[in-house]
C-alpha cells in the first residue's frame, strides 16, 4: 500500500451542500428558504416569539430555589478506594486523607471537601479521614475492621 492509494470507505464522507450557488446546484435562487415571509429574510430570531402574545415560558410559574452558599463535595466510592489500595496507589497502613486521595489521582480537586459513598466492596482494614461520608459507608468500613472519621462539623448523613 502506498500513500497515494489511501482512501476512505465509499460513502464515508459526504460533500457539504453549498447554498445559493445557481439553479444547477438544486439549492439556488431562494437557497432553501422558500418564498417571502419573515423566515426568508436575514436577521430573524423568532425562537420563543409568539407574535406579541406572552410566551409560554413567561406564562408558566417559576419553581424551586438555588441555594447560593451550598457546599459541593468531591464524591468518592469505597470500591474505588479499595481498588487504588489493591493497585498500590494508596497506602492502607497509614491514614487515607483527602490529600492522599488527591495525590493518588482518585479526586481531581477537593472543592468543599471529599465525601465517601458506600458503592463497592471494602476488603481490607482502612483508616479514612474525610469531610463527609454516608452512614452506609461508615458501617461498611467499620464492618471490614477499619475506621472512617468525618473531620469537620459536616456529620455523617
Structural class in CATH, domain 74-150: alpha beta
Residue 126, SS3?
Answer: coil
Give me the pLDDT at residue 12, please: 94
Boundaries of every domain in the chain: 74-150
pLDDT in tens, 105-129: 888 988 898 999 988 888 888 888 8
Give me the pLDDT at residue 151, please: 82
* Cα torsion angle, 19, 20, 24, 30, sign: positive
pTM comes to 0.54
Does residue 154 surpass a pLDDT of 50? no
Beta bridge partners of 96: 128
* Cα torsion angle, 123, 148, 90, 121, sign: positive
Interatomic CA distance for residues 92 and 38, integer angstroms: 68
Does residue 62 surpass a pLDDT of 60? yes
pLDDT in tens, 88-101: 888 878 888 888 88
Q: How confident is the model at residue 51 (pLDDT cuts 50, 70, 90)?
A: confident
- Summarize the confidence of residues 26-40 as an average pLDDT: 91
- Summarize the confidence of residues 12-18 as an average pLDDT: 92
- The conformation of residue 99, written as its DSSP 8-state character, comes to H
Q: How confident is the model at residue 156 (pLDDT cuts 50, 70, 90)?
A: very low
Cell of 85: 489500595
Instruction: Show the CA angle centred on residue 139, arms to residues 133 and 141, nearest 5°.
Output: 80
Cell of 30: 431562494
Amino acid at each position: 500500500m502506498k500513500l497515494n492509494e489511501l482512501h476512505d470507505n465509499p460513502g464515508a464522507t459526504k460533500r457539504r451542500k453549498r447554498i445559493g450557488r445557481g439553479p444547477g446546484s438544486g439549492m439556488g435562487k431562494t437557497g432553501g428558504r422558500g418564498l417571502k415571509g419573515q423566515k426568508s429574510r436575514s436577521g430573524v430570531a423568532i425562537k420563543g416569539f409568539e407574535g406579541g402574545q406572552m410566551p409560554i415560558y413567561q406564562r408558566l410559574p417559576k419553581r424551586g430555589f438555588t441555594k447560593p452558599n451550598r457546599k459541593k463535595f468531591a464524591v468518592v466510592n469505597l470500591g474505588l478506594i479499595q481498588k487504588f489500595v489493591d493497585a498500590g496507589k494508596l497506602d492502607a497502613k497509614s491514614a487515607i486523607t483527602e490529600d492522599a486521595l488527591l495525590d493518588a489521582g482518585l479526586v481531581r480537586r477537593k472543592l468543599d471537601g471529599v465525601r465517601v459513598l458506600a458503592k463497592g466492596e471494602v476488603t481490607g482494614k482502612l483508616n479514612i479521614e474525610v469531610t463527609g461520608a454516608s452512614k452506609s459507608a461508615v458501617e461498611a468500613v467499620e464492618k471490614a475492621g477499619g475506621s472512617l472519621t468525618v473531620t469537620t462539623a459536616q456529620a455523617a448523613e
